[in-house]
Structure 1
Amino acid sequence: FHTKDAAQRDEDGYFWYAGRADDVIISAGYRIGPFEVESACIEHPAVREAAAVASPDSKRGHVVKAFVVLAEGRVPSEELAGEIKTFVRGHLSAYAYPRKIEFVDDLPKTLTGKIRRIELREKELGA
């Protein structure tokens, strides 16, 4: 689209919003919208908020990385990260689940409450 938004058309001709073109994650040739990953993440009872960005990967070019804010009383651990990955993989295509998870205290947001993925992408790239 001219708005720099990305969408996909399904076999029935319906369009599905995938996100801003610069937010779309391309992993092994697949286009992955961050919203679908984030929505699946927050369905897990331990997750309060999530944001998905591309993370460099030598095999796939990029993989999905989720920055996760846990629900109150939950403690970050490798075991919990694995549980969230498995949960999300059960809700999305196998290529779309987050292969990396980083637990954070909060997510950067605009004044209107939208997640500032650009800050997370810059953090991921070390910029």
Structure 2
Amino acid sequence: MSIYHKYFKEYLDPFGTLVDFELNFPDNFNFAYDVVDEIAKEEPNKKALVWCNTENEEHIFTFKDIKDYSNKYANIFVQDGIKKGDHVMVVLKRQYEYWFTAIALHKIGAIMIPA
């Protein structure tokens, strides 16, 4: 079963066209843990992010990579005193580290303010 089926139910007409849907998220839903880390557990080598820049550099990250890096980042943020509910301004223009940071902040419940 796809992960999204845990949280999303779709209703199709006889032609396969979406006619309605329901969202079902628990109160403690956390995208980072419930989606990203779950995919990393089920399909660790699945490609999650392809980052390229204007110098033709490319970095490919799997869901396991995203999970591992975001865990490291989250630990650093917590050690620095960031906690659930804190607002954190993030200035990482066009850097792949932005995505590790976003997922890490989700994990600890902080609110990211992209800048």
Task: Pick the TM interval, shorter chain.
Answer: under 0.3
TM-score normalised by the chain length of structure 2: 0.26
The structure richer in helix per residue is 2
TM-score normalised by the chain length of structure 1: 0.24
Larger Rg: 2
